[in-house]
Amino acid sequence: MLNFFSMSKLKPISKDSIQKALTRAKHYRLLNEPWDAASICRDILVVEPEHQTAILYLILAITDQFGLERRSSDAEAKQLCLELTNTYEQKYYRGIIEERLGKEALKRRSPRVKYIAYEHYRSAMHYFDEAEKLRPKGNEDALLRWNACARSIKEFGLVSSPKDTGVQPFLDT
C-alpha cells in the first residue's frame, strides 16, 4: 500500500519525451487547463532547466491562471522572463504579463480598479515599446499588443491615479 510520502515524490520524465510533453502542454492551454499545462512545463524544466519553449509556455500558463481560484504568481512569471535568453522575448512576455494583469484588474469590483488597470496597461505598453525596438524583421506582435492596450485604455476609460493626498481609504493592490 502506498503512503502519502511515496506518492508525493515526483517522477522525472525522459529527455526524449520533451517534444511530446510540450505538445501536451500546448493542448492543455487550449483546453483552458492552465494548471495542467504549467505542471507539464515544470516537469520539462526539471529535466532541461533552460528549455526556452517550456519557459515560454509556463509563463503563458501562469498568466492564464490570473484571476482563477487557484491563483498563480505574477512574480514567478516575471522571474521566468529573466530566464529567457532572447531579449526581445524577455520584453515581449513581460508586456504580456502586465497586459493580462490589467485585464484581470478590470474584473474586480473596487473603487481603484480603473487606476490599477491603467498602470498595468501602461507598463505593458512600455515593455511592448522596448520589444518593438528589438523585434525580428516582419514580427509585429509587439505593435499589435501595444495597440490592443491603447484601445483597452480608451474603451474602458482608464486613467492614472490622481495625486496622492496621503489618505487611501480603499487600498487595492
pLDDT tens digits for 57-71?
Answer: 999 999 999 987 656
94 and 154 in a single domain? The answer is: yes
Alpha helices in the chain (DSSP H): 4-8, 18-30, 34-47, 52-64, 74-82, 87-106, 113-134, 141-155
Distance (Å, whole) CA 141 – CA 139: 6
104 and 153 in a single domain? The answer is: yes
pLDDT digits (tens, 9 = 90+) for 118-171: 999 999 999 999 999 999 999 999 999 999 999 999 999 999 988 755 545 445
- Under the banding of pLDDT at 50, 70 and 90, the label for residue 101 is very high
pLDDT digits (tens, 9 = 90+) for 15-66: 999 999 999 999 999 999 999 999 999 999 999 999 999 999 999 999 999 9
Does 63 reside within a domain?
A: yes
Could you give the percent of the chain with pLDDT greater than 90? 81
Does 78 reside within a domain?
A: no
**What is the number of structural domains in the chain?**
2
Q: Long-range pairs for 69-75 at CB < 8 Å and ≥24 separation?
A: 70/35, 72/34, 72/38, 74/101
pTM: 0.87
CB count in 10 Å sphere of residue 167 = 5
Average pLDDT rounded to a whole number, residues 80-108: 97
The grid cell for 86 is 532572447
Distance (Å, whole) CA 109 – CA 64: 20
Residue 63 is which amino acid?
A: T
Does 8 reside within a domain?
A: no
110 and 155 in a single domain? The answer is: yes
149 and 94 in a single domain? The answer is: yes
Domain region containing 105: 86-160
| CA proximity to 141, closest of 96, 77, 81, 104 | 96
Last residue of some domain: 48, 73, 98? 73
Distance (Å, whole) CA 154 – CA 108: 18
Place of cell 505598453: 125
What pLDDT score was predicted for residue 128?
98
| pLDDT of 90 strictly over 80 | yes
69 and 94 in a single domain? The answer is: no
